[in-house]
Amino acid sequence: MTPWEASISASNPGSDEILMSKIRTVLGDIAPENLGWCQCHEHLFVADGPSRNVDRALYMDDVDRSLREANLYRDAGGGAIVDAQPYGCGRMAENLMTVSDQSAVHIIACTGFHKLIFMENREAFTAQSEGSIAKLYVSEITDGMIGRDGGRLEARAGLIKCAAVPGWEEDAEYRKLFSAVAEAARRTGAPVIVHMDKGADALGIVQYFADRGVASRRLILCHLDRARYDMVYHREVLETGAYLEYDTIHRLKYHSDEDEAALIAHMIEDGHIGRLLLGMDTTNKRLKNYGADFGLDYILTEFRRLLARFGIGGEKLDRIMVQNPQEALAVKE
């Protein structure tokens, strides 16, 4: 526990107890040491619907193409991915099971919610009580995810997602969903992965969950490398004990890969290597088998060469890509 975390969690001394840790994949629980190289924010499938209406890149529903992409990743040395598409936002959990089984790539799926503009049946879902929503999220972790046909699957989610947009604290729908996520995290011991929009307050998110009994080290904050490329701010966030997941790799409209590598190098130099995670945040424009000129294997085949030029290789890269996910993604009961 970091000093920052201790200072805000003193009123909840029992929240730190751990009985058992495991990684919950769509094909069952595995020991953390069996995870392998893991990219912690990807998308192999997004069903047709609101996400595609917002951005046509947010649509991948071809099992064969996504399987080839997973095989490409596996052949390059990949062992696992987090598929960050949550409940009710185009998640295709059945397809994740198929791809994981046929590729031998471990896939950790998400319950929870994304930005409301991506939500299917938004009005009906958000009209439910906070308790009902929390119960759903818990059941997807403990019993099995809800499939596209509404039936319960054997595959269980291993993460709870939420999306922080500017001003979410003043929005009744978002407040209800965030509270349900916090309740589900407390009850299941599952980690929380947070989409960070530009302008959202990362430190405020950490405080919000800490106030509700969810330790900062159970949080994975995503996209700050593009939402707020600010090394001082990133250091402040990392000092809370939360994880930062960087995935603005080869997203050249935001910044160069050299800038991304420099950011990672600075955080390592400041002593925060143990709280860094990486991913590609893939869309159909970032998957080779959907027509892109690079794919899910890009970190393994290209970006790692650039990281080596910044002195990030060997044990350092293993720490970020293998060891850190073992801890960050563990369900702790």
Neighbouring C-beta atoms of residue 32, cutoff 10 Å: 16
Asked whether residue 63 carries a pLDDT value surpassing 70, the answer given is: yes
Give the chain's largest Cα–Cα span: 52
**Confidence (pTM):** 0.94
What are the CA-CA distances from residue 80 to residues 150, 180, 256 (Å)?
A: 27, 27, 26
Predicted confidence band of residue 333 (pLDDT cuts 50, 70, 90): confident
pLDDT, one tens digit per residue, over 33-57 is 999 999 999 999 999 999 999 999 9
pLDDT, one tens digit per residue, over 74-87 is 999 999 999 999 99
Q: CA triplet 286, 290, 291: central angle to 5 degrees?
A: 80
pLDDT, one tens digit per residue, over 151-180 is 999 999 999 999 999 999 999 999 999 999
Domains and CATH numbers, the chain: 21-332 (3.20.20.140)
* pLDDT average, residue stretch 183-202: 98
Nearest CA to 42 among 224, 281, 245, 278? 281
Nearest CA to 216 among 200, 201, 232, 204? 204
- The Cα–Cα gap between 61 and 47 comes to 6
Nearest CA to 108 among 116, 120, 100? 100
